[in-house]
Chain A
Amino acid sequence: MTKQTRYFMAGSAAVLVAGLCTGLVAYYGGGFQAVSASTGPTELAYVPADASVVAYADVRSIMDSELRQRLKMVLPGERGQEEFRRETGIDIEKDVDYIVASFAPGEEGTHPNPLVVVRGAFSPDALEALAREHGGVSEEYRGKKIVKSPNGDTHALAFLETGLVAIGATASVRKAIDAQLTATSITSNDEMMNLVGDIAASNNAWAVGRFDLISKQAKLPEQIARQIPPVKWFAAAGHINGGLSAMVRAEANDDQAAENLRDVVRGFLALGRLQSQGDPRIAAIANSMQLEGSGKTVQLNFSVPAEVIELVLPRKQPVDAEPLHEGLHH
Chain B
Amino acid sequence: MATTASPVVTTPTRAPGVLASALRIFDVSLGDMLWSRRTIFMALVVGAPVIMALMLRTVVSLGAPLFEQTRMTGPSIFGLMIFGLYLRFIVPVLGIFYGTSLIADEVEDKTITYLFTRPIRRGAVLLGKYLAYLACTISVVLPSLVIVYLLVVPMRGSLGASFVDLLKDLVIIAIGLAVYGSLFAFVGAKFNRPLLVGLIFIFGWEQAALAIPGYMKRFSVMYYLQALVPHAMPNDGIVGLLQAVFRESPSLLTSLFWLGLIWAVCLYLAVSVVERREYVLEQ
Chain A: residues with CB nearer than 8 A to chain B? Answer: 1-2, 4-5, 8-9, 12-13, 15-16, 18-20, 22-24, 26-37, 39, 45, 183-185, 187-188, 190, 193-194, 197-198
Contact = CB atoms under 8 A, between A and B. Distances in A.
13 contacts: A1-B30, A4-B31, A13-B139, A19-B147, A19-B149, A23-B163, A28-B160, A31-B159, A32-B158, A35-B155, A39-B156, A194-B156, A197-B156
B31 A37 contact: no
B154 A36 contact: yes
Nearest to A31: B160
> Which secondary structure characterizes the binding site on chain A?
helix
Contacts of B139: 8-9, 12-13
Interface residues on B, range: 35 or more
Given A9-B139, A15-B147, A19-B149, A32 B31 contact: no
Interface stretch (B68-76, B114-122, B198-206, B259-267): B68-76
A190 B73 contact: yes
Contact of B34 (A5, A31, A190): A5
Interface of B: 27, 30-31, 34-35, 57, 60-61, 67-68, 71, 73, 75-76, 135, 139-140, 142-143, 146-147, 149-150, 154-164, 166-167
Contact of B140 (A12, A34, A185): A12
Contact of B31 (A1, A19, A23, A31): A1
Contacts of A37: 60, 67, 155-156
A32 B30 contact: no
Contacts of A20: 146, 166-167
Contacts of B160: 23, 26-33, 183
Contact of B156 (A4, A28, A32, A193): A193
Looking at B35, B142, B159, which has the most chain A CB atoms within 10 Å of its CB? B159
Looking at A5, A15, A33, A184, which has the most chain B CB atoms within 10 Å of its CB? A5
